[in-house]
Structure 1
Amino acid sequence: MNAQKRRAIYETLQSLDPHPTTELEYRTPFELLIAVMLSAQATDVGVNKATRKMFPVANTPRAMLELGEAGVTEYIKTIGLYRTKAKNVIATSRILLEQYGGEVPAEREALEGLPGVGRKTANVVLNTAFGQPTIAVDTHIFRVSNRTGLAPGKDVRAVETALEKFTPSEFRQDAHHWLILHGRYVCKARRPECWHCAIEPLCEYRPKTPPPEL
């Protein structure tokens, strides 16, 4: 895919959604960090249902520690892998208190050193909480990048590198939000909905899928 076509894709997505953001509900960097940790192999809808009840009770590292692993488990037990996630939430809260004064660090190395925080989670926090132009690659973005030809890669890190290389600087801050939403609602895994896709004329996916029979 050439540079002009990539730019046109981003311009189209920007025109549809000028100020995209995560669908996870949060008010502080700590709430965002915890929500993203909980979202692994879970839906944003499911995470939001849990955090709407948990965050009013515990939305700081100290309050989370006071809640304890058993308390966290009660709030998040409807989410996949909840036992492991509860352990990581408590361990991360303890480290934030002991090493970072209860604040979420704005550095990749520090974030990736927290239990349950990988590169994707760190990228989301750096981008959404701290305004850094990182690009987090999840399954939706991996699929859209490869299917459209925007930034092909054999694994998530390769796609991230390609997106960083090929995404014009003015779109980098919002790129992963546009792509994840496009993958979630239009360019779906089982059947991309090409018939109402705004970037369909620019996309290199073949064959295009026709609308379902009425």
Structure 2
Amino acid sequence: MRRTLAIALAAGVLFVGGCGRVHQQQAPSTAVDTMLTLTADDLTDDDAQAADDEITTVAIAETVKGKAPDLDKAKQAVAARIDKRLEALKKDDAVIAKAGQLTAAHKDTLTKLVADQRSGLTALKTKVQGETTAEAIKADAQSMVVDYRVFMLTGPKVRLTAAIDTELAVATKLKADAVKQHLDGKTDALLALKPGKDGDAIKGAVAPIRQAAKTAHTDLKALRKTK
């Protein structure tokens, strides 16, 4: 009886040990699938918001006629659009917080970027309320767009950096050196971009980086199926 029990216990230990080994083998694969799923969320393009970013100055300019009621209306319009940007920055903070594969350097850079933009836009919102001329309000509206580019540039910087860092982590797990080479230097190029008046140039610079991230995502998903 004791011998039978010992054999059974030994078998149980081997079974548990075997499960442990299987779990250890499956965990990296599960992690890869999870990371790729999260990455897909970061590859979206905010075309609608970017378009809103572009028309802001024109829209504000058309509301300002120089009279007090028009000035108040314009101030409210600028303040509302600043609030949209502040709300977008909250979402960027959330992306940074959940992006577990962000490098420490990239996380610091993005966190500072979002904090600086929040501070600047909050100050600009206060400044707008004190303006007394149409020209000053128009200048503030233009500054809101070209000095920050929250939708067109900041959001893509946050999400695409999170996506690319995640893809690089996955590529390392899958030993996908070609994917790593494809992504080499992309985040540095993205983070080096500056806001400014030329929206088309900004979109043109971001587009190939987003496409590289999308291509890497597709390649990694295909490679994952073969593992």
Query: Higher helix share goes to which structure?
Result: 2
> Rg larger in 1 or in 2?
2
TM-score by length of 2: 0.30
TM-score by length of 1: 0.31
